[in-house]
Amino acid sequence: MKYLPFVWGIGGVIALLSLALYRLSPHAVEMFNHELGLWHYVGLVVSCAFMAYSEGYKGFQKAFSPRVVARAHHLTTPAAKPHWKWLAPFFCMSYFAAPRKRKIVVGILTTFIVLCVILIRYLSQPWRGIIDAGVVVGLSWGIISILCFCFQAVTGKLDHSPELE
């Protein structure tokens, strides 16, 4: 029972990211139903490389994933408040019980992501698929990095701060 909030927090975050993968993947695959020119392939490579580095490596692996797992691991300690455990996925994503600066950054980033999703819906194929393919690469990297940090947490080798307020 001690690890149930950990599993709920990590599982909720991974479920949210997996839902985005599930919804974006068909658009990325649909891109190949169109005739692609050289610029499309260049765009695809640039999109995937950029998102792998900026979203996957810098965003997830270096910042988001270790913090999510550290916050989930904190939920297994006696210092964790009961409502943090019930709202574990939101706690793990730093929507609350985080320093003011972190909550502001999370709010701005969430707003930016929602706006990008809305705007990218208006792009026609294959450009929408090209961008979505890059996002799929970044999200996949993110899920894998969360699982790697979970392994570190389970083996006692996680040394990241949960950034509590």
Q: Which helix (H) or strand (E) holds 82?
A: helix 82-86
Q: Is 125 among the domain residues? A: yes
Domain of 52 in residue numbering reads as 4-154
Q: Is 163 among the domain residues? A: no
Q: Is 160 among the domain residues? A: no
Q: Is 14 among the domain residues? A: yes
Amino acid at 110: T
Q: What percent of the chain has pLDDT over 90?
A: 92
Query: Does residue 10 carry a pLDDT above 90?
Result: yes
> Considering the entire predicted model, what is its pTM?
0.92
- Is 70:160 a contact under the CB 8 Å cutoff? yes
Q: What percent of the chain has pLDDT over 70?
A: 100
pLDDT single digits (tens) 35-67? 999 999 999 999 999 999 999 999 999 999 999
- Is 163:38 a contact under the CB 8 Å cutoff? no
pLDDT single digits (tens) 73-113? 999 999 999 999 999 999 999 999 999 999 999 999 999 99
Give the residue carrying structure tokens 């640039």. 46
Backbone angles phi, psi at 129, to 5 degrees: -65, -35
Domain tally for the chain? 1
Q: Is 110 among the domain residues? A: yes
Q: Is 164 among the domain residues? A: no
The whole-number pLDDT of residue 165 equals 83
